[in-house]
A = this chain, B = another copy of it.
């Protein structure tokens, strides 16, 4: 099944738009998991078992695994294998933010899609079309273009005006239109500026957005849903929470609260 269809099926079945980010920085993982050799993997299994019925997707950021070198990469691989084996219907995102010249991007595509077996990867568009092609062409896998990020510095370049349009909009135009010939493009659209999200939804009606920034970064779930899901558009919003869920005192309760808020909103519509 092509990855975007897998995501849509999972959303339909779970009624969830929550993505939990397994940013399992070992320094913040509770002490009891740290005694294990595969400490990040053991912690992730615990989080996955606590949250899987409330999520449509898991997102793993490579940074927190690579930081630990070989053992971290092992834990990353064991975690994605665990999800694929035990919860094969859940959509998986490798938050790698890669992007390089063409033949090099192809090697990254093999890393995330083949070696690690993720359904999707986040890609940095700064190097242009040929740097994104190897991901776009990868046999039905999903590609999530970094369009608008939610961090404080995002405005440094993403807000620059080119003939009256912001840089992120120029990139969104490319990503959402000319790059999407295989129907496998998604976009990162930060959740901290609701008006931008509204604008983007009007312009790219059929693209699913990955919205980081709920929870710790301050994004408001209901406002994001109002802006990102419209009766005249088929594109959905997948909202990510990482630290806010996984390092909560009770991750299950935290995920459940977000899930129920989403469910309530969807039923109200």
Among listed A9-17, A148-156, A200-208, interface-contacting one: A148-156
Contacts of A132 in B (CB 8 A): 153
Per-position binary interface string of chain A over residues 57-73, scored 1 when its CB falls under 8 Å from any chain B CB and 0 otherwise: 00001011011111001
Q: Closest 10 interchain pairs by CB?
A: A128-B153, A128-B156, A63-B107, A130-B153, A101-B151, A129-B153, A67-B107, A66-B111, A69-B115, A126-B126
A196 interface residue, CB < 8 Å from B?
A: no
A122 to B28, CA, bound (A): 27
- Per assembly, the copies of the chain total 2
A105 to B131, CA, bound (A): 21
Among listed A44-52, A166-174, A253-261, interface-contacting one: A166-174
A252 interface residue, CB < 8 Å from B?
A: no
A66 to B98, CA, bound (A): 12
Q: How far is the CB of A8 from chain B (nearest CB, A)?
A: 27
**Chain A contact residues: helix, strand, loop or mixed:** helix
Q: Which residue, of A115, A126, A128, A132, has the highest number of chain B Cβ atoms within 10 A? A: A126
Given A115-B67, A158-B128, A23 and B104 contact (CB-CB distance below 8 Å):
yes
Contacts of A152 in B (CB 8 A): 102, 128-130
